Every structure is written in structure tokens, then in C-alpha cells.
Amino acid sequence: MTRRLFLLFLGLILIATASYAADPSADEGDDGYRLWLKYEAVTNAAIKAEYLKYTTFIGNSAKGEIGQSAAQELQTGLKKLLGKNINVTSSFGARSGAIVFRIVTSSNQIQQEEGYQITLSGGNILILARSENGILYGVFALLRHMQMQRTLKNLNVASSPKIRYRMLNHWDNPDGTIERGYAGASLWKWYELPERVDPRYADYARANASLGINGTVLNNVNASARFMSQEYIVKVAAIANVLRKYGIKTYLSVYFAAPKTLGGLPTSDPLDPQVRAWWKEKVAQIYKEIPDFGGFLVKANSEGEPGPQDYGRTHADGANMLAEAFEPYDGIVIWRAFVYKADPNADRFKAAYEEFVPLDGKFDPKVIVQVKNGPIDFQPREPFSPLFGNMPKTPLGIEFQITQEYLGFATHAVYEAPIFKECLDSDTYVNGEGSTVAKVVDGSMHGYARTLMAGVANTGNSRNWTGHPLAQANWYAFGRLSWDHQLSSEQIAQEWVALTLTRSQKASGHITKMMLRSREIYVDYNTPLGLSRPWMGVHFAPEPWQNKGSRPDWTAVYYHRADSAGIGFDRTSSGSNALAQYRPQVQQKWIDPDKTSLPYLLWFHHVRWDKNLSTGKSLWEELCTRFYTGADSVLWMQQQWDLAKPDLDSEVYANVAQRLKVQRREAIWWRDAWVLYLQSLARQPIPAGFEPPKQTLEEVKQSVNVYLMR
Ligand code: GCW
């Protein structure tokens, strides 16, 4: 080896070891590992003096595993915030200046088992709850308050979760890859488990618990039967042992045909007694290793996955068989409603409703049907799924996607809280005005206690967990909304920025402004006016011209229906009539192209290129305007980010600044692909004031081909 090569080699080893040995709490250079739990020293002197009055911690009324996690978090949090150890004592006496955990049996303020109250009493801070889980959530709330340097004067907050099952769904595969994951490989190291338990699992659990997330599905819904083997159950148990300490239950996705492929039975028919017995035994086997196991998540008869329909049975037959196996336990069955058939004459929009509404009332009470927010598939903007409100006899959970499958992966900054809120705040009108999706999901509309909100995780083994530093905010926002869907997108953004990026009000102003507009900007250059693009493939590169696929609904042209006359999917009675799946008041909003609000226009109507819109422009001009202003608004995002620079960590600043450059380049790519392709059909000039694309349609197609090349 030459000396040069040797030095290079040595250098590489040093770099590798340095990054492995990096102290997650190191003060210089923020690598993002600590997320929103940084606990940076309090800098406001008056506030610090206020906090320093509390010198003692009394936690003996919550001594269990979760109480201990709460105590530990509080102690390390305070130490970092105040630079001082807090005394731990067990005797209360007449002292003041203590932070006290107290389990109460009943309280008007604390409505739920997992709720908490933080209050001042006799010069002490009391964290009250009905369970240790509540204490843990109270601790995180207090630490959040302190991280934001808020006064403790008149402190009295009570909060209870509005949703019972608040969970992440990981689409992680046993080989370490993640379906639609953009932040590295899976966090779960199956080949090392159960003997080696990565310390990162505990940090993952802390991050989730700090938001109120209380469940996690470890593996992909396109599930491997492997997870039902004893070998893997033991591995899963090792992770569950870590998560349990933070009030998080572990769930698994199941492969419906496992009785056959793993169990060696001749069938997986849910009505077959042997199959039923197999699942019962399987569930019992799991509970032996994981006594608080959460339950199963099932994707069946969807996108090629096996399911009860393979045997002429219904989704309810399949779900109920599994629910029966959970009868002796606390666990539940979460059955996904994400289904659609390869029918060239059908509208995929309608599929889930058509299959599931007839089954309303047929599911076992232990089953929750999990419905994606929109009828198609996590598009940048979708109308709410018409299933919400239309299955009153079945608890419906909602599934959001945190990972940015259709939102620019890990190079585009898109703050998702507005997407989640837009759906939750939509009015279904099923019980008159004000029947929001949120009320269906939180159980208040139809009286359910088993309520669920799931988010498809955006985590991976990237040092900063989510790849794009700003994508951490999406994990954060999902968690906070799963606890309280009434929080505003703005409030959540401000909180996240203060905890994660900077305490400077000025910088926060720029960043939150940019975050709050980011989704609209993305929609403008990606899928404006109600376009969608769920065609097959990687779901990144623009391919509006794609017209060949193994099934019609796996092409681009199926969704936008652009032709020489116009563009958009007619879902009124002259088209697929999907609109009829909504209540009349909802139909009224979207039935008339002249009255449909522009963001939803092409979701429901095929509109002529030359049609005049409410903006005073023709459809063609409006589309071009959106594509251009969307792409140009990335420049504005860059400016906002730069204005915040003086108050940002340099590593984080540079990381985001560089990704914004990629975003700008890719936004132009998207704009040009759409504009040039649509122009080939509309045959209209690029409107005055916009510079025509520098590349030809053929050149863009070629660049997309290169991107998609294997
Ligand atoms: O959005 C689509 C994705 C698939 C995913 C599927 C689903 C896990 O492209 O990758 O599979 O949805 O939600 O089941």
C-alpha cells in the first residue's frame, strides 16, 4: 500500500469511528440526533431563577417501570436545562420547592387513564395522573414548557389524549430495507436481535413517548410470514421490552397466508377450523413472550397481498377470525381498507367504499378498520375518504403518511401538519353540519372508545432519524395531533422550531412562515388544482406521459385524463359518479365546476383548457401560473431559511440550505415535465411573463429515464 493510500485508509477509519462515537448530547455541531429533546441550557436568567426554586424530586408514588422512565427523563432533562442535579428524596414532609409525581384515583381534570395535570401547590410542582403513563406524559409536557422557557407562574395544565391508539406504522422489511423509506435503513436490527439490543431503540421510544405515541407496528404491511416464527417473536419481544418502559405497545403486521406458508396447513381460509386454531395458538405464543402485545395490522387482498377473498370470504371474515384469537387478551386487530381492483372501467377512488360500506356492522368489536386519509393514496392533496362517516357501526381509524412518498422524499421540505389538519377538519355532514372527520376518528360521532390514528413512519437509521432535518417536524406534528387534533399547524410548528432549531423569535418567524407555506408550494409545482399522480414506480420522478402499466390504474394518464380538449377526472354523474359516495352537502361543494374550489377542481371535473376560472385566467394559464410560481417560491423558502441563519446551528443550516437547492432544481424539473407534456396536448403558448422551459419535452423525458434506469 502506498503511503497516500494508507493515509486515506486511516482517515476513513477515523471518520467512521468518530461518527460512531459521537456523543449524542455533544454541544458543538447539531447532528439532529436529539430531535426535540435537546434540553439546551436555559438562557433567560429570570426564568432560570424561577426553575431553580425546584431543587427536589419526589417520585415514589410512581415506582414502576414507566414511572422510572419518567423520573429519569425529568432528572436528566433538568440537569441539562439548569446545569444542576436535582435532589431525589422520598419524604414529602412540609417542604416546598419539590417536583412531585402523584397517582390519583380520580380527578375531574384528568379525563383519561393516560391524561395528566401539572399544577402548583404549596410551592411545589405536582404532576398528577391516573397511571404512570400519564405521569410520563406530564413529565414530557413540563420539560417542553421549560425548554420553551415559559414561566411557571399560575401553571395549571390538564391534558388527555383524544385518541386511544396513537401509533406509528413502520413499513420496515426483515432485510433492513424500508418500503418508501428515505432516511436510511431500518432502525430494527433483526440479525443482531434478541441478544444485542441497540441503545437507539430507547431513544426512539423516548421521542415517541414525548409526543404521546403509545403504539408501534414494527414491520411492513406487505408483511413477511417470518415475524410469526418463534425465532422472530423472540426478537420482537426484545424490542417490546424497551418500548414498554415508555408506555409503547408493540404490534406486528401479519401475512394473511402464514398458516399455509409458515404453518404448513393446506389452506389459510379464515373459516377453516384448523386455520382458526393456528392463529389462536400463534397469538398465545406471542403473548407468552410479549404479555402486553398490542395486536395485528393487516393488509389483505390489496396490491397482490393474500387475504380472505382468496377463499371467497370477506374482509370481515378475515378480521373476525383474528379478533377471535385475541379474545383472551387486550390486543386488537387493525384491518386496512386500502383496497382497489384492476378494473379498467372502475374508478379507484370508489373502491374502498364499495368493498367496506356493505360490511359495516359485521366486524368484531375488537376490530378497527384503518382508512387512509384520502380515497386514493397519500397524494399531496386529496379530498377526505368517503368512508369517514359512512360506516357508523364500525370504529374507523385514520392512516396518515408521514414518510414523504409523494412529497419529495427527503429532499423537499414539506410540513405536513396542514395536510393532516385539512382532512381532520373536513366536514362529512353525516350527522349534519360539523360532522368532521376528526369527530368520526376520535369516536365522539358514533360513540367509540377504541379510536386510532396511525402515521406511516419517516424514521430510519440516518443519524438525524429522518434524513431531511425539517422532516422531523412531520413526525413531531403527527404525534402531537394524535394526542390532540385541535392543536393548530402553526402552534405545532412554533413549538417544534423552539425545541429543535432555535429559541430566537425572529428566526422562528421566518422558519414557521416557510413551513406553513411549504405544502401549498409543493402542490403548486407538483400537482396543482387537484391533479394527482399515484402511478407505479418510485413515486418521485415526474412522468405525466406514462401510459403503459400492467394495469390501467398504474399509469399516469389514468389519473389526470389530459387530452386535446382539457384535463381532469370527471367524478360527477356524467363520469364515474364517485361524488355520490359523499353526503349531498359535500356533493354541493364539488358538483359544479364553477363552484368547486380550485384545489379540488381536477379531482372532480374534466375541464376545458380554455375555460375561464375564478382567478380570471383560463385553466391552461392558471396551471402554468401554479407550476411557475410554485417552483419560484422555493427561492422564497431559501430566503426565509437564510434570514434565520444567524440563529441556527451551522450544521443544520447547511444541511437544509443544500437540500433546498436540490428542491429548487427538482421543482423546475417537475414544472417543465408537466408544462411541456400538457402543452403537447393543449397546444397553447406559455403565458406571457413566464420564461418557456429551457429543455424540450424529449429532453425531460430522457432525464426521467435516466433517473428511473436500473
Ligand atoms: O402508497 C402505496 C405504496 C405502497 C404501499 C401501499 C400501502 C406498503 O406505494 O408501497 O405498500 O400504498 O399502503 O399498502
Sorted by where each begins, the domain ranges of the chain are 45-159, 165-487, 523-569+606-709
45-159 CATH, one of 3.30.379.10, 3.10.450.350, 3.10.129.10, 2.40.30.160: 3.30.379.10
* Cα 331 from Cα 354, distance rounded (Å): 28
Kindly state the DSSP code that residue 430 receives in the 8-state scheme.
B
572 vs 2: which has the higher pLDDT: 572
Cell representation of residue 607: 375541464
Which residue in the list 31, 73, 310, 377 is annotated as catalytic?
Answer: 377
State the residue for C-alpha cell 426483515.
174
Residue 534 has pLDDT above 80, yes or no: no
- CA of 65 from ligand 1 middle (Å) equals 36
Beta strands in 210-302 (DSSP E): 215-217, 249-254, 295-298
pLDDT band with cut points at 50, 70 and 90 for residue 90: confident
Q: Kindly report the number of other CB atoms within 10 A of residue 523's CB atom.
A: 22
Does any ligand 1 atom lie closer than 6 A to the CB of residue 604? no
Does any ligand 1 atom lie closer than 6 A to the CB of residue 180? yes
Atom nearest to 399 CA in ligand 1: 13
Which residue in the list 30, 73, 172, 405 is annotated as catalytic?
Answer: 405
Does any ligand 1 atom lie closer than 6 A to the CB of residue 245? no
The per-residue b/e assignment along 108-126, b for 16 or more CB within 10 angstroms, e otherwise, is eebebebbbbbeeeeebbb
Kindly state the average pLDDT of the residues 225-242: 98
Helix (H, G, I), strand (E, B) or coil at 444: coil
Amino acid present at 673: A
Report strand pairing: 156-159 vs 165-169.
Answer: unpaired
pLDDT in tens, 312-338: 999 999 999 999 999 999 999 999 999
Q: What is the mean pLDDT of the chain?
A: 95
- The per-residue pLDDT for 92 is 67
* Cα 322 from Cα 256, distance rounded (Å): 10
Cell representation of residue 263: 404453518
Does any ligand 1 atom lie closer than 6 A to the CB of residue 535? no
Helix H, strand E, coil C: the string for 660-706 is HHHHHHHHHHHHHHHHHHHHHHHCCCCCCCCCCCCCCHHHHHHHHHH
Nearest to 357 by CA among 317, 331, 396, 413: 396
Atom nearest to 220 CA in ligand 1: 8
Distance of CA 30 to the CA centre of its chain: 24
Contact criterion met (CB below 8 Å) for 650 and 28: no
Atom nearest to 171 CA in ligand 1: 8
Cell representation of residue 598: 380550485
Q: Kindly report the number of other CB atoms within 10 A of residue 486's CB atom.
A: 12
Distances from the Cα of 30 to the Cα of 158, 458, 500, angstroms: 33, 20, 10
Atom nearest to 406 CA in ligand 1: 1
* Cα 566 from Cα 609, distance rounded (Å): 5
Beta strands in 223-324 (DSSP E): 249-254, 295-298
- The per-residue pLDDT for 21 is 39
Give the closest residue (by CA) to ligand 1 atom 13: 338
- CA of 682 from ligand 1 middle (Å) equals 33
Phi, psi of 81 (to 5 degrees): -70, -40
- The per-residue pLDDT for 94 is 61
Cell representation of residue 159: 391534558
pTM as predicted: 0.95
Is residue 303 annotated as part of the catalytic site, yes or no? yes
- The per-residue pLDDT for 165 is 98
* Cα 518 from Cα 25, distance rounded (Å): 30
- The per-residue pLDDT for 19 is 38
Q: Compute the CA torsion angle 250, 255, 256, 259 (nearest 10 deg).
A: -100
pLDDT band with cut points at 50, 70 and 90 for residue 4: low
| CATH superfamily ID and name for 523-569+606-709 | Alpha-glucuronidase, C-terminal domain (3.90.1330.10)
Residue 28 has pLDDT above 90, yes or no: no
Residue 180 has pLDDT above 60, yes or no: yes
- The per-residue pLDDT for 20 is 39
pLDDT in tens, 493-526: 999 999 999 999 999 999 999 999 999 999 999 9
Helix (H, G, I), strand (E, B) or coil at 79: helix
pLDDT in tens, 195-210: 999 999 999 999 999 9
pLDDT band with cut points at 50, 70 and 90 for residue 679: very high
Give the closest residue (by CA) to ligand 1 atom 12: 377
- The per-residue pLDDT for 535 is 73
Is residue 495 annotated as part of the catalytic site, yes or no? no
Is residue 691 annotated as part of the catalytic site, yes or no? no
The per-residue b/e assignment along 224-246, b for 16 or more CB within 10 angstroms, e otherwise, is bbbbbeeebbebbbbbbbbbbbb
Residue 6 has pLDDT above 70, yes or no: no
Contact criterion met (CB below 8 Å) for 164 and 156: no
Contact criterion met (CB below 8 Å) for 519 and 199: no
Contact criterion met (CB below 8 Å) for 178 and 460: yes
- CA of 521 from ligand 1 middle (Å) equals 24
Kindly state the average pLDDT of the residues 184-198: 98
Distances from the Cα of 201 to the Cα of 206, 236, 293, 390, angstroms: 9, 12, 17, 39
For the chain, how far is it from start to end, CA to CA, in angstroms?
Answer: 34
Instruction: Say whether 165-487 and 45-159 share the same fold.
Output: no
165-487 CATH fold: TIM Barrel (3.20.20)
Residue 23 has pLDDT above 70, yes or no: no
- The per-residue pLDDT for 251 is 99
Residue 13 has pLDDT above 90, yes or no: no
Beta strands in 306-406 (DSSP E): 332-336, 367-372, 396-401
* Backbone conformation region of residue 268, classed left if phi is above 0, alpha if psi is from -120 to 50, else beta: alpha
- The per-residue pLDDT for 26 is 44
Residue 342 has pLDDT above 90, yes or no: no
Nearest to 465 by CA among 31, 28, 21: 31
Report strand pairing: 165-169 vs 215-217.
Answer: parallel
pLDDT band with cut points at 50, 70 and 90 for residue 16: very low
* Cα 442 from Cα 397, distance rounded (Å): 8
